[in-house]
Amino acid sequence: MADVPHQKSPLLPDRLLHGTPHNHPIEHIFGIAPQIPCLESEKTLVNFVLPPWSGPTDWDPNKQARFIENIFLGIPIGYYVIHAPQWRTSGVKPMSGWLLDGVNRITAIRDFAENKISIFNGVFHDDLDELTRERRFYHQPFPCFELSYSDDLQHLRAIHEHLNYAKLERASTVYGHTPAN
């Protein structure tokens, strides 16, 4: 559902997420055009670019397997959030196509597809017949929320921090520091 105009409240801040939801299947993350990093500090994950501040995945193989098992069990797996890809005549715009939320889930999907993790006590991706993989894995819903393009780095960082608040809170407790602003 696209953003609907609403009356501004003097008690609440403006909405943070503005964009368009897309109902994609899992296979979409492998089929989209690869995004190309603009900065040396940007990393990639499947066909997405990660913001420079994006840390490594914090799911161990057991948690990844549990997530993949949920896909096969038909349990909704949430959505991922990307910053809209934008181009100009000289190439891709800065911060274009960044994956702001979903790193752990997309990493688990990639690792399963690459036979790096097993599910249900030892079943790997390639152990399944093609029809089962297509119907019960690649065609399963994995919706995306695509944010409207913005060149405001602080705004994108704030969105990332709101979407990943639990991870940031855990890090501050474990490492004894507060998340960067």
Where do the domains of the chain lie? 19-174
How do the pLDDT tens digits run along the chain, 181 residues long? 555 666 777 888 777 788 899 999 999 999 988 877 777 778 899 989 999 888 788 899 999 999 999 999 999 999 999 988 776 666 677 788 899 999 999 999 999 999 999 999 999 999 999 999 999 999 999 999 999 888 888 988 989 898 887 554 544 444 454 444 4
pTM (2 decimals)? 0.82
- 123 forms bridges with which residues in the sheet? 119
Rg (CA), the chain: 18
Query: What CA dihedral angle connects 68, 69, 74 and 76, to 10 degrees?
Result: -50
